Amino acid sequence: MLPRRQARINELVRKAIGDILEGGLKTHFPGLITITHVKVSPDLSSAWVEFTVIGADEQDALRFLERSRHKITSQLAQKVRLRSLPRLNFALDKVSKNADRIEELIREIHRDEDETSD
């Protein structure tokens, strides 16, 4: 379990990056990027930022985030007061993607059951 301070920093950074993407950077990418998890290292040197994307290719979203890393970091510095800003590392949130796929399969099973019972 994460210490309370670490969990608070993770959530603070997650929300701030989400706000940044909703704000000025939103117009530069055609899809919807949602920041799902952030894990900042205890020494604040790096942060792993997981995201999901709707309406665009996942690899395009990853490239967009990597190209925008400097801009996101500079805006993050204005929103969040930390001893030092972590280097942002972006990755697709595969857990959320897998959960969505499982839910889709369950819906299909229920549809098939409804069709066969009629």
**Is residue 66 over pLDDT 90?**
yes
Q: Is 1 helix (H, G, I), strand (E, B) or coil?
A: coil
Residue 46, domain extent: 4-93
**Is the model's pTM score more than 0.85?**
no
Classify residue 113: in a domain, yes or no.
no
pLDDT tens-digit map of 69-83: 999 999 999 999 888
Classify residue 98: in a domain, yes or no.
no
Handedness of CA 77, 81, 84, 85 (dihedral sign): negative
Q: Which amino acid is at 84?
A: S
Classify residue 46: in a domain, yes or no.
yes
Give the DSSP letter of residue 85. P
pLDDT band at 99 (very low <50, low <70, confident <90, very high): low
Beta bridge partners of residue 118, listed in sequence order:
none
Number of domains in the chain: 1
* CATH number of the structural domain spanning residue 17: 3.30.300.20
Classify residue 72: in a domain, yes or no.
yes
Q: Give residue 102's pLDDT.
A: 72
